[in-house]
Structure 1
Amino acid sequence: MYNWISALADLQTRGEPCVLVTIIEELGSTPRNAGSKMVISASQTFDTIGGGHLEYKAMEIARQMLASGQQNTHLERFSLGASLGQCCGGVTVLLFEPMGQVQAQIAVFGAGHVGRALVPLLASLPCKVRWIDSREAEFPEHLPHGVRKIVAEEPLDEVDELPAGSYCIVMTHNHQLDLELSAAILKRNDFAYFGLIGSKTKRVKFEHRLRDRGFDSSTLQRMRCPMGIGEVKGKLPVEIAISIAGEIIATYNADFGQHTSRAEPIAKLLPASRRSQR
């Protein structure tokens, strides 16, 4: 049986999300002392915070957090006797910390020079990458961890397979394919980010053609073209890749930064008699 430290390291190596549960406060008779920890994944548990109904409730809460993709830490106070029916009768406060949550689903259309420079950068971030191209020979022999290679005769079909909230990057070898992918992504309009490689001139041409297909200005404004951080100059594939990766990081950090923790301060979760001692 793994202890929580070994389990956490193993799960993080495999990229499997989990929740670290810690007893941070205890009052009266409790099954384990403050500082005790356990790790809970979608299908397994490692170590223990004392068993019984408390541990069952901790597993239930942790798995709800995993299922919803919650990123914020969470505090929960349990009266072991009154609420959970345990004979201990004390009070325990648990801290739930999501670990290894995937923060972004990224689809990269195109395995050309820039794609080959970009994907390893993205793979080093907390994300999952779908790398899509019709030309199998363009992919490197070894793929970074967390990258799924998709050799698709019709890359356009892969747009329908993307989860809502995906980060879409279009940089294929064919301008007409870029246009068709752009139209399909904009039609869904449920992406977190959509970037199209190219110049301002390419954007003007694409906007004209997309307007002819019925896309309005507000939808077209969501398309990043040129994409990437303007301050990162250079035309080398790795320079362009760094610029694009930087913009992706800035985008998902801004998105996730909008979610603030609603956890109450620890003091409010403790019995009134204990609060006065703090």
Structure 2
Amino acid sequence: MSWISALAELQERGEPCVLVTIIEERGSTPRNAGSKMVVTAERIYETIGGGHLEYKAMEMAREMLEKRTQDTRLERFSLGASLGQCCGGATVLLFEPMGQPQAQIAVFGAGHVGRALVPLLASLPCKVRWIDSRENEFPEQLPAGVEKVVNEDVVDEVENMPAGSYFIVMTHNHQLDLELTAEILKRNDFAYYGLIGSRTKRVKFEHRLHERGFAPEVVQRMRCPMGLPEVKGKLPMEIAISIAGEVVATYNANFGQDVKKGESTVAKLLPGSRRERG
């Protein structure tokens, strides 16, 4: 894949990368100025000539990805004994971070809290799919980066999200909340699952999910009540700010890491939430 095609695909997926460009060459070098390479946490696209130079460039690019730096970087390399290359020339590389990590979020429910929450999420490095069966509940204007999904059977939309997604359930129907919860927990490959509701709702859901055969450690990954306990209040915007804060804490912790089944980053970050809704 060419470097420009790779950049387009990575941007579409919301995957961060570093574009490495040879901007200066002196003497004998393996590639000419203008040659480019795209580096992600797992792959590279194109080449700047191979050898130890390319290895060092990949190492530096991945260090930038790990540190989440957005600053460009210039590095000069002598292609002699220090790099184990026989070219003998010198080259200057430009490292340009491209994109930010983007959380893939599915918000089920276009009620009052959903209408307060979605614009907040849209202002973050997130891609939001806003899902409801009721067309008339959505506002006329959607924030940029938000995809509206109207589906009579919203449960079908769970499988359309990629692994490592964030799921937020706040529908108008408790039975629908339960069916969505079951489908999400069945996947068990999410980065975050939050369900609006009180401790009483959680206890009822835990009982019903155990009856359906869900293991306790899987059910434990559900955040209900959800949101940062430090953010008080019952107004839709107050609840939305609390939930958005918890999402931010989760994707900051998960950046550069694979989401492992059975692990709950939020549970580690926030061992107890006192927020009660519904």
**TM-score band, normalised by shorter chain:** 0.5 to 0.7
SS of residue matched to 1:222: coil
| Pair 1:137 & 2:136 matched | yes
Distance in structure 2 (CA, Å) of the matches to 1:77 and 1:189: 46
| Pair 1:209 & 2:192 matched | no
Distance in structure 1 (CA, Å) of the matches to 2:66 and 2:94: 11
Percent identity over the alignment?
Answer: 74
Paired residue type of 2:179:
E
SS of residue matched to 2:164: coil
SS of residue matched to 2:230: coil
Distance in structure 1 (CA, Å) of the matches to 2:96 and 2:217: 38
Please list the CA deviations of residues 16-53 of structure 1 after superposition, one character each: whole Å capped at 9, or x if unmatched: 966444669x784389xxxxxxxxxxxxxxxxx823xx
Answer yes or no: is the 8 Å Cα contact 2:20–2:39 preserved in 1.
Answer: no
Alpha-carbon offset, residue 78 of structure 1: 6.9
Q: Which residue of 2 aligns with 1:220?
A: 219
Q: Which residue of 2 aligns with 1:29?
A: 27
Choose the corresponding residue for 1:59, options 19, 37, 42: 37
Please list the CA deviations of residues 227-276 of structure 1 after superposition, one character each: whole Å capped at 9, or x if unmatched: 000010000000000000000000110111659xxxxxxxxxxxxxxxxx
CA RMSD after TM alignment: 3.6
- Cα 1:101–1:30, aligned 2, differ >3 Å: closer, same or farther? farther
Deviates more, 1:95-104 or 1:192-201: 95-104
Distance in structure 1 (CA, Å) of the matches to 2:43 and 2:93: 15
Answer yes or no: is the 8 Å Cα contact 2:20–2:38 preserved in 1.
Answer: no
SS of residue matched to 1:105: strand
Paired residue type of 2:164:
G
Q: Which residue of 2 aligns with 1:50?
A: 33
Q: Which residue of 2 aligns with 1:150?
A: 149
Distance in structure 2 (CA, Å) of the matches to 1:95 and 1:189: 40
Please list the CA deviations of residues 182-230 of structure 1 after superposition, one character each: whole Å capped at 9, or x if unmatched: 0000000000000000000000000000000001110011000000000
SS of residue matched to 1:181: helix
Unaligned runs of 5+ residues in structure 1 are 1-11, 32-48, 83-87, 260-278
Q: Which residue of 1 aligns with 2:54?
A: none
- Cα 1:93–1:218, aligned 2, differ >3 Å: closer, same or farther? farther
Paired residue type of 1:59:
M
Q: Which residue of 2 aligns with 1:41?
A: none
SS of residue matched to 1:128: strand
SS of residue matched to 1:180: helix
- Cα 1:215–1:16, aligned 2, differ >3 Å: closer, same or farther? closer
Alpha-carbon offset, residue 99 of structure 1: 2.0
Q: Which residue of 1 aligns with 2:84?
A: none
Please list the CA deviations of residues 37-96 of structure 1 after superposition, one character each: whole Å capped at 9, or x if unmatched: xxxxxxxxxxxx823xxx0xx235479458xxx7447999877799xxxxx852325353
- Cα 1:60–1:125, aligned 2, differ >3 Å: closer, same or farther? closer
Alpha-carbon offset, residue 101 of structure 1: 3.2
Please list the CA deviations of residues 155-202 of structure 1 after superposition, one character each: whole Å capped at 9, or x if unmatched: 000011110000000000000000000000000000000000000000
Q: Which residue of 1 aligns with 2:102?
A: 103
Alpha-carbon offset, residue 97 of structure 1: 3.6
Aligned residues between the structures: 219
Answer yes or no: is the 8 Å Cα contact 1:228–1:240 preserved in 2.
Answer: yes
Answer yes or no: is the 8 Å Cα contact 2:20–2:37 preserved in 1.
Answer: no
Distance in structure 1 (CA, Å) of the matches to 2:25 and 2:99: 31
SS of residue matched to 1:232: coil
Paired residue type of 1:124:
S
Paired residue type of 1:241:
A
Q: Which residue of 2 aligns with 1:247?
A: 246
TM-score (norm 2): 0.68
SS of residue matched to 1:190: coil
- Cα 1:257–1:102, aligned 2, differ >3 Å: closer, same or farther? closer
Unaligned runs of 5+ residues in structure 2 are 1-10, 46-61, 82-86, 259-278
Distance in structure 2 (CA, Å) of the matches to 1:23 and 1:234: 54
Q: Which residue of 2 aligns with 1:183?
A: 182
Paired residue type of 2:108:
F
